[in-house]
Amino acid sequence: MRDAPFQIKPIAGAIGAELLGIDLSADLPDSTIAAVRQALLDHLVIFFRDQDLPPDRFLALAHRFGTPIEYPFVKGIERYPQIINVAKLEHEQINFGGVWHSDTTYLQDPPMATLLVAREVPDSGGDTLFANQYLAYETLSDKLRALLAGLKGVSSSAKADASRTREDRIRTDGSTDARRLLIAEHSAVRTHRETGRRALYVNRAHTIRFAGMTEEESAPLLEFLFAHQIRPEFTCRFHWTPGALAIWDNRCAQHYAINDYAGHRRIMQRITLAGDRPG
């Protein structure tokens, strides 16, 4: 990446890099987009500051990296159904995404990546944590990796309902079938189709059990994995500023939106990109 037309500044040892000297609102050549995509593959989540990305430009940028899809529970903003508001207002107590997760693993084909841009942020607080799931898998014992190779995790959209992490947005912007139940089974360890690396693919927000096992039988192993996969040395933390953009790879990274700004508002906009069935 030494020939990339921008500077890459890693922000932690395990995951995350800030890309400097690039204007994402411009009509960038394919070679620059390819370099950005390679940075994403190398660092799992990439960050940009001070980007001028109104909805039309935001959506156009997303199309350079994949196919934007609609979120199943919250309506998109006016004229842009693939863009949803990720907001917590001054009077609200529960934030959107305030639990460790990979986005919408209860879909049969979970999203490949997510783009999130900051519109309005508190003076302090509201950071997002990210965790490297390659390392989460690679640091397990050989015996446990062999066991996980034969397991599938069952993800349910109802588990996020129980954690209430999207309740305010469903109340104000919910789709007509916002309360439908979505369930999918995916390999507990997935192989990334572009890098060939294996990543742990269960998450606290959505995985309820292993296929062929009860929730009670699954709980001890899942609880171990949930704690293991967010060890501090696997993570980075990003502080948002207006106009900041993050792009993360849902196939190998998890994230957690910190809810530590009571009485203040945080307004973000999100696009998810179509993925494929984990294998």
91 has catalytic annotation = no
Q: From CA 136, how far away is CA 231, in angstroms rounded? A: 8
- Residue 206 sits at φ, ψ, to 5 deg, of -125, -30
Selected catalytic residue, list 119, 198, 255, 266: 255
Q: From CA 12, how far away is CA 118, in angstroms rounded? A: 21
206 has catalytic annotation = no
251 has catalytic annotation = no
The residue type at 174: G
192 has catalytic annotation = no
Selected catalytic residue, list 103, 168, 173, 249: 103
CB 95 within 8 A of CB 125: no
* Nearest residue to 54 via CA among 35, 28, 78: 78
Q: From CA 268, how far away is CA 20, in angstroms rounded? A: 21
Selected catalytic residue, list 37, 101, 119, 192: 101
Q: From CA 266, how far away is CA 260, in angstroms rounded? A: 11
Q: From CA 54, how far away is CA 233, in angstroms rounded? A: 35
Count of alpha carbons within 13 Å of 52, Cβ hemisphere only?
A: 4
Catalytic residue positions? 101, 103, 255, 270
